[in-house]
Amino acid sequence: MLEDADPNLTAALCLFHDVAEARTGDIPNVAKAYVTREPDVRVAADQVGGMPPALRDAILGAVGRFAGQDSPEALLAKDADRLECLLQAREYEHQGFRNTRPWMESSMARLRSPAARLLAERALTMPPDEWWKTFAARRAREP
């Protein structure tokens, strides 16, 4: 288990952490000073209000745990979100877009887990079109 976290719970938090953004959109950090919005758990509660109680409560629990950032799973899920931003910026850079380094650096600076930092460092040292080859080669070596 990576970082002594439950991989299933971490995956669930990753899956549902942005559920509120389906309704509100992604409000970048620079815009937050100009926009008010409800907490993600409140937005998610409106979205899942008509679901069966067990499913509704499970989704709201995941959103709440992610928002609370008080467990190894929530911290890893947040790191995964930041890694996704870093990888996206790295892919844009590889395609020829300029000014992606500040985006990558700010994402890197916010990573908290050693595993996320290691993944980011490796992603920054190889071209994005090599990432899948590294993964495939490792999988081929596993029994």
Q: 56 near 48, Cβ under 8 Å?
A: yes
Tell me what pLDDT residue 135 has.
Answer: 74
Tokens standing for residue 6: 């439950």
Domain that holds residue 11: 2-141
Q: 13 near 77, Cβ under 8 Å?
A: yes
Distance CA 69, CA 78 (A): 8
Record the pTM.
Answer: 0.84
Structural domains counted in the chain: 1
- Residue 100: CB atoms within 10 Å: 17
Distance CA 59, CA 142 (A): 34
Tell me what pLDDT residue 2 has.
Answer: 62
Report the SS3 class of residue 93.
Answer: helix
For each of the chain's 143 residues, which pLDDT tens digit applies? 567 899 999 999 999 988 888 887 777 666 777 877 788 899 899 999 999 999 999 999 999 999 999 999 999 999 999 999 999 999 999 999 999 999 999 999 999 999 999 999 999 999 998 888 877 777 778 77
Within the chain, strands assigned E span: none
Which amino acid does the sequence have at 16? F
Which amino acid does the sequence have at 135? F
Q: What is the CATH number of the domain that holds 47?
A: 1.10.3210.10
